[in-house]
Amino acid sequence: MTDRLYIFDTTLRDGEQSPGASMNTAEKLRLAVQLEKLGVDIIEAGFPAASEGDFDAVAQIAGKLKRATVAGLCRTAKDDIDKAWGAVQHAAKPRIHTFIATSDIHMKYKLNMSREQVVTTAVEAVKYAKAFTDNVEFSAEDGSRSDRDFLCKVFAAAIEAGATTVNLPDTVGYAIPEEFAELAKYIMTHTPNIDKAVLSVHCHNDLGLATANTLAAISAGARQAEVTINGIGERAGNTSLEEVIMAIQTRQNFLPLTTNINAKHIYPSSRLVSLITGIMVQPNKAIVGANAFAHEAGIHQDGVLKNPMTYEIMSPETIGLNTNKLVLGKHSGRHALRSHLKEMGYDLSDDELQIVFKQFKALADKKKHVMDEDLEALVTEGLLRTADIFKLQYLHVTCGTTVLPMASVQMSINDRPLKDAGYGNGPIDAAFNTIAKMTNTDSELLRFTVSALTGGTDAQGEVTVRLKENGLIALGKGADADVVTASAKAYVNGLNRLEYLKTHPRTAAQNL
């Protein structure tokens, strides 16, 4: 049995199904490039049949990446498979990933199909996909709640039809590690032709066991792990890539496996996903949380100072978290900025550098030192946005203990300048009220969070908002040295994302 573990990242597909985490094409491309740099073997770039926007994003990613396999998800329907192949066909290594539910509850209530019909449908789909490419993955949706003998029958039929990977999903996060390992082992020993395919696992985190279930299945013989950066995904999320990788690297005595992952790109990848989606990483999140390498207790601090291994089972540098960061200031030039951004993983063109450099100089005039977190925010804000409908050009607020808070706003709406003013309970409320009136939107503010990107009183404020309108939910994010301005930027960003969702509906999003 090979000791090579394949990493299948579905941040761009299942991860994007987190409420409000939809990404535009530019953001998906940037993240796909970072995932390839991270060393991911297979990148599930999207669900091409879901929308024209998803098809276009998958196609652009397929055409850009040089090493990683690019997969497109599809149901067991010829139209879906046609769209998936149309999107991934120009990839250096294309894969079609097709699925159908195999649990009794799904077959009865969702599919209204018998077991025999499901097997026949799966075989026909795999054969049809095989006509396009030799790299076909078949998934048994809700596999953890399926009859194990039926699972073996479906997998055997799919492999016979040409599937080179068969995936066992814990779709609703129902499994317990010992149980899931036993199921994986049963499949490995009772599927007669399993040696002709790779067994994959795809776990959800509804009980907080996604990583534990994945590692248990790997120990039982699975050799592909389906994961997302930061563990984002439907409901409580998916198995976290960083947790699986660092568990393997840290516990080689129990998990003697190798991967292609360059762990030093884990933290930059985590930050990029957070910046793009607007989903903050909880401080106590394993591996990439802000407190992962923080030590508050005096006895811990004393031990770490004497030998970091007393209370750290891995070093922050291992995941690319550089504790000795170079700081840039207003006297730093383009060359220094380009060099530092390249070290951070951003290889910018001359035109892109010019955009970021202009924003960098403006920020450097406001604060003495510009940190890595500041630069990440500048790159995200300056380069990863599509042509927005709403653009904030000017904001002025008046507030205090003896005046009624008021905001004066100038915006560009479809490239048409517009000015207005309004009142509110505070400066942020006044700004939001005015922007809502100018954009003629009726979104509901579900969440508002603000945090500092770095330490110090001159730190940029990072604001995240969650908006809801007509059943659509979008996250917006903004950063600025002024928190009120950051809030307005986040609100406008959220409104633009809502507009994007209105014009790019996801009609066939599915969850494995």
- CATH number of the domain that residue 73 is part of: 3.20.20.70
Domain count, the chain: 4
Confidence of residue 85 (pLDDT cuts 50, 70, 90): very high
Residue 301 pLDDT grade (very low, low, confident, very high; cuts 50, 70, 90): very low
Distance CA 412, CA 273 (A): 28
Lowest mean pLDDT among 177-186, 216-225, 385-394, 488-497: 385-394
Q: How many CA atoms lie within 13 A of 243 on its CB side?
A: 23
Do both 356 and 306 map to the same domain?
no
What is residue 307's predicted lDDT score, i.e. its pLDDT?
A: 64
Amino acid residing at 383: L
Q: Is residue 283 part of a domain?
A: no
Q: What percentage of the chain carries pLDDT values higher than 70?
A: 92
How far is Cα 476 from Cα 497, in angstroms, rounded to an integer?
A: 7
For residues 194-221, average pLDDT: 98
Question: Over 90: is that where the pLDDT of 339 sits?
Answer: no
Residue 44 vs residue 342, higher pLDDT: 44
Residue type present at position 102: T
Q: Per-residue pLDDT for 501 more than 90?
A: no
| In a shared domain, residues 128 and 11 | yes
- 88 belongs to a structural domain: yes
Question: Looking at 189-193, 278-282, 298-302, 392-396, which range is the least confident one?
Answer: 298-302
Range with lowest mean pLDDT among 107-121, 198-212, 446-460:
446-460
Least confident segment among 103-107, 215-219, 453-457, 497-501: 453-457
Tokens of 2: 């090979």
Mean per-residue pLDDT over the chain, rounded: 90
Task: Decide if pLDDT at 325 tops 70.
Answer: no
The model's confidence at residue 300, banded by pLDDT at 50, 70 and 90, is: very low
Contacts of 373 (CB under 8 A, 6+ apart): 271, 453, 454, 460
326 is a domain residue: no
Structure tokens belonging to residue 150: 């039926």
Which residues have C-beta within 8 Å of that of residue 349, sequence separation ≥ 6? none
Q: Are 204 and 297 in the same domain?
A: no
**Residue 138 and residue 31 share a domain:** yes
- DSSP letter, residue 333: -
Q: What is the pLDDT of residue 178?
A: 98
Is residue 72 assigned to a domain?
yes
Return the DSSP state at 510.
-
Are 103 and 183 found together in one domain?
yes
Residue 344: per-residue pLDDT: 73
Same domain, 352 and 488: no
Q: Are residues 120 and 224 in the same domain?
A: yes
Tell me the torsion sign for CA atoms 75, 80, 86, 87. negative
- pLDDT digit string, tens, across residues 361-403: 888 887 777 877 778 778 776 666 656 899 999 999 999 999 9
Give the residue numbers spanning the domain of 297: 293-321
- Is position 199 within any domain? yes
Point out the least confidently predicted range of 7-11, 158-162, 371-375, 474-478: 371-375
Q: According to DSSP H, which parts of 292-426 are helical?
A: 298-306, 334-343, 350-364, 372-383
In a domain, 512, yes or no: no
Q: What is the mean pLDDT of residues 204-233?
A: 98
Sort 305 into a burial class: Cβ within 10 Å, 0-12 / 13-18 / 19+.
exposed
Q: How much is the pLDDT for 376?
A: 76
pLDDT of residue 510: 61
The enclosing domain of 407 has a CATH number of 3.30.160.270
Q: What is the mean pLDDT of residues 140-162?
A: 98
Nearest one of 200, 207, 50 to 140, comparing CA atoms: 200
What pLDDT, in 10s, does the model give residues 17-61?
A: 887 677 888 889 999 999 999 999 999 999 999 989 899 999 999
Query: Is residue 92 domain-shared with residue 204, that is, in the same domain?
Result: yes
More confident call, 137 vs 336: 137
Residue 448, Cβ neighbours under 10 Å: how many?
16
Q: How far is CA 233 from the centre of its chain?
A: 8
pTM of the predicted protein model:
0.85
**Residue located via tokens 């129990």:** 254
Q: Which residue has the tokens 């018998």?
A: 114
The verdict on residue 328 lying in a domain is: no
**Do 396 and 376 have their domain in common?**
no
309 lies in the same domain as 339: no
Instruction: Tell me, yes or no, whether 340 and 404 share the same domain.
Output: no
Q: Is residue 164 part of a domain?
A: yes
Percent above pLDDT 90 for the chain: 64
Q: Walk across the sheet containing 444-452 and list its strands.
A: 444-452, 461-469, 472-480
> Does the pLDDT at position 1 exceed 50?
no
Tell me, yes or no, whether 374 and 266 share the same domain: no
Confidence of residue 472 (pLDDT cuts 50, 70, 90): confident
Higher pLDDT, 431 or 275: 431
Residue 298 has pLDDT above 60, yes or no: no
